[in-house]
Amino acid sequence: MTGSFNSNNIKEVPRLETDRLILRGFSPNDKYDIFEYASVPSVTQYLPWEFHKSLDDTEAFLKLSAEMFASQDNIDFAVELKSEKKVIGGISIRKWNDKNRCADIGYVLSPKYWNRGIITEAIKRVIRFGFEVLNANRIEAHCDEENIPSFRAMEKAGMRYEGTLKDKVFLKGKFINIKFYSILKEELSE
């Protein structure tokens, strides 16, 4: 069974803001910005998808993102840096399950913007959206145990480490251990 968002049935990707960021739906006009970061091999080192080799790959991503939203499986947000009016990454809230009120988040960011707290800022905003709009009770995230910046961002966003699953995923030719994090609605702080 695929997931579905709460009974509000969101009709378009909402626009969310933070001090430095606008989180909004992806647009076909974003394809060059997306390709700029998605074509860098180090960006996808720990991700389940391969780096984009051409704009066709980026266009396929945009199509898939729209399809996943239409089926109410994912909400993919473009991460736009206000100061540059440029898409520098993406963050998703996915695998929504109405019955359990649980969602999963994932993200990617251009290496030009690593180590600036940008993805932590985006994670915090999407968590708040998940609790306030989707009525989630629990939001999870996970990453390769070797992806230290990713799990540090989860921790800085207020998520708590729950454990590591050994050989959880076969990815890019090898089994990897996955670190799991979560936050409950009651744990959300200002």
Q: What are the E-state strand segments in 7-73?
A: 16-17, 21-25
Number of H helices, E strands in the chain: 4, 8
pLDDT at residue number 114? 94
Structure tokens at 49: 């998808």
Mean pLDDT of 68-90: 93
The token pair that represents 111 in the structure block: 């290496």
Instruction: Please check whether residue 149 is in contact with residue 116, taking contact to mean a CB–CB distance below 8 angstroms.
Output: no
Task: Please write the tens of the pLDDT for every residue from 174-189.
Answer: 999 999 999 999 998 6
Burial 108-127 (b: 16+ CB within 10 A, else e): bbbeebeeeebbbbbbbbbb
Q: Which pLDDT tens digit goes with each residue over 18-58?
A: 999 999 999 999 999 999 999 999 999 999 999 999 999 99
pLDDT at 2: 42
pTM equals 0.91
Please report the pLDDT score of residue 11 as a whole number.
84
- pLDDT over threshold 70, residue 7: no
Closest to 10 in 3D by CA, of 61, 73, 53: 73
CA atoms within 13 A on the CB side of 57: 13
